[in-house]
Amino acid sequence: MKKTLALCLAFVLAATCAAYAAPRGEEMRVGVSIDAKNFDPQNSVDTYSFTMEKQIYEPLFTVDGKTKELTPVLAEKYEQIDEQTYKIYLRKGVKFHNGEPFTADDVIFSLTRVTDPKQSVFAKSKGMWIDPNGFEKIDDHTLILRTRGPVGGFLGSMKHPYASILNRKAVETAGKDYFRQPVGTGPYKFVKWDKGVRVEMEAFDEYWGTKPYAKKLTFVVLPDNSSRVIALETGEVDMIYAVPASDFARLQDSKKVKAVEAPGLVLLHLAMNMDSPKLKDVRVRKAIDAAINKEAYIQVAYEGYGIPGQGPLPTACQWFPKDPVKWDYNPELAKKLLAEAAKDDPSVKDMTLELWVMNAKDRIDGATILQAMLGQVGIKVNVSVFENAVINDKIRKEHGHDLYASTWGMQTNRDAGVYWQSVITTTSIAATNSARISDPEIDKLMDEQNKCTNDADREALFQKIWDRMNDLHPWVYLCQAAELNGAQKDLIGLEDLYDGKINLLTNLHYPEQERLK
């Protein structure tokens, strides 16, 4: 009798819980591999902090990930008065999550803060573009913003979280704790951060824009690839970033979940050390390129999910040539170029190159096929594998590599000038220019585009830099690996994510929610 009564009670409790369970999609749970480091966008440098901050904060302008067009967000419009002066008209009726109204004072505070090395990690980079003494408040929704001289692509640079607009009162009240007490104007407001486990947000009822479908947004930290996939398949989460390539096809065939391939934003290139005596002849560098089958590389390193590199920029760039010259696999051409180079330098015949890669499966698998393909044209390759933190220092300080499998991406910008500044200029050799490119012509063109605010003139400069990079050939444009995402089978909106892992997630929803909204 007692056993029967207990079973009945359990049934009633289960039925009651089911009756009062939140409707599907009311809480959107997103599985991520890495936790955020902090929630202050002017002091964040990692992708997953940006992933979560994207839901909380907004800039004046952004660049749409799909259309590549400059798009106003907290600004309604602007006028460019001269090469370094902008009149910004702000959106009215916007509130911060703490109830404070959004005004020109917050814009001036935020963009001045990013110029101060004591307050922002971007003060010596992006903060250098802004003149902290050049602001003028005309009224609560109109201001003058000045840059330190002409800055090409300045408004588009605001896609990067450095330009997020913060509430002065919230920052000053929280002080050193602001990184875990964020306040923005975005569609979701911060609720709770359980470090290493989850981040909870809730929809902001007074949001000025299109309201999100989900009332609650939770990022669940699942570092292990298998655990993340299992969480998706068991319904613990609604979507996941970073589906392992080895699971992608199986998830595509599943009746319960789906896997979606999104455009890659990171260009993997084989940087050829321009200071290496072995690579001083451009014919050798072009021969290395011709010897590499990029499609085969993608198949081995990424199980086919990606596209061959098409030039010295990711295809997501706002400026990308309509019909770029293709660098196809041509081993016979590679042999011919090497033979020609050997006439001037006999050591080319017995060339051995040092390839450095970081300790990651895709890089190690890729190194194996690079070694084999270059061996087929007579180039011996020694492969050295290093941990990520170690290899970055070795590239900068020792530069004993001939070849280095390097990446640079466009998740936080779509501007060719911003992208190239970090990887092909003489000033970037000490940091992220792993090919050690130091070319007076490129440096001159980069200086010109940095100061050019006319779009047509700037595009012409970009074309010259593109052509010069192809002529010098310090990189082999290997591939852009696809972004692989997973979700419940009928989740809507996954196909619209064009910004890598830094997407606004307000449109994720289930079919039944369309009827409710």
Confidence category of residue 517, pLDDT binned at 50, 70, 90: low
**Crossing angle of the two packed helices 225-233 and 245-252, in degrees rounded to 10:** 10
CB atoms within 10 A of CB 447: 12
pLDDT (tens digit per residue) in 480-500: 999 999 999 999 999 999 999
Reported confidence tier of residue 515, pLDDT bands at 50, 70, 90: low
What's the pLDDT at 393?
Answer: 87
Could you tell me if 490 and 509 lie in one domain? yes
- With tokens 């959004």, the residue in question is 102
Residue 489 lies in a domain: yes
- 221 and 129 in one domain? no
pLDDT digits over 149-168, tens only? 999 999 999 999 999 999 99
Beta-carbon contacts of 85 under 8 Å, excluding residues fewer than 6 positions away, are 134, 144, 145, 146
Query: What is the tens place of the pLDDT at every residue in 202-246?
Result: 999 999 999 999 999 999 999 999 999 999 999 999 999 999 999
Domain membership of residue 300 (yes or no) is yes
Is the pLDDT at 18 greater than 60, yes or no?
A: no
- Domain boundary at 152, 180, 208, which? 180
pLDDT over 60 at 3, yes or no: no
Domain of 106: which CATH number? 3.90.76.10
Residues 6+ apart with CB under 8 A from 428: 421, 422
Looking at the fold, whether 62 and 146 belong to one and the same domain comes out as yes
Among 27, 25, 30, 28, CA closest to 512:
25
Cβ–Cβ under 8 Å, residues 75 and 89 = yes
- Whether 366 and 320 have beta carbons less than 8 Å apart is answered as no
Q: pLDDT, tens digit, for every residue of 340-358?
A: 999 999 999 999 999 999 9
Asked if 379 and 474 sit in the same domain, the reply is yes
- Do the domain assignments include residue 457? yes
45, part of any domain: no
- Residue where a domain terminates, one of 180, 206, 221: 180
Q: What are the backbone angles phi and psi of residue 189, rounded to the nearest 5°?
A: -110, 150
272 in any annotated domain: yes
Whether residues 318 and 404 share a domain: the answer is yes
Q: Which residues contact 133 (CB under 8 A, 6 or more apart)?
A: none
Q: Which amino acid is at 360?
A: A
Same-domain check for residues 366 and 338: yes
The 3-state DSSP class for residue 262 equals strand
Q: What is the DSSP letter of 411?
A: S
My answer on whether 224 and 274 are in the same domain is: no
Q: Model-level pTM? A: 0.91
Residue 44 covered by a domain: no
- Three-state DSSP at 500 gives coil
Count the alpha carbons within 13 Å of 451 in the hemisphere toward its beta carbon.
7
Query: Cα separation of 446 and 450, whole Å?
Result: 6
Contacts 24+ apart (CB under 8 A), 443-446: 446/417, 446/420, 446/421
345 and 413, same domain (yes or no): yes
Amino acid symbol at 456: A
> Strand 27-32 relative to strand 216-221: parallel, antiparallel, unpaired?
parallel
Range of the domain at 398: 266-481
Domain finish residue from 146, 180, 214: 180
The CATH number of residue 387's host domain is 3.10.105.10
Looking at the fold, whether 254 and 352 belong to one and the same domain comes out as no
Burial of residue 479 (number of CB atoms within 10 Å: 0-12, 13-18, 19+): buried
284 shares a domain with 387: yes
Q: CATH no. for residue 244?
A: 3.40.190.10
Q: Helix 361-375 crosses helix 294-302 at what angle (to 10 degrees)?
A: 150
Return the structure tokens found at 298: 């993608």
Q: Please state, in angstroms and as integers, the Cα–Cα distance from residue 459 to each residue in 118, 155, 452, following that order.
A: 36, 16, 10
Chain mean pLDDT for the chain: 94
Instruction: Please report whether residue 47 resides in a domain.
Output: no
Q: What is the pLDDT of residue 21?
A: 56
End-to-end, the C-alpha distance of the chain in Å comes to 48
* Residue 283 shares a structural domain with residue 201: no
Q: Where are the alpha helices (H) located in 359-510, listed in sequence order? A: 361-375, 388-397, 416-421, 440-450, 455-472
Q: Is the dihedral of CA 52, 58, 62, 66 positive or negative?
A: positive
> Which of 272, 257, 503 lies closest to 404 in space, CA to CA?
272
Q: What's the domain count of the chain? A: 3
Is the same domain home to 492 and 512?
A: yes
What DSSP designation does 256 have? S
Output phi, psi for 63, to 5 deg: -115, 120
**Structural domain includes residue 42:** no
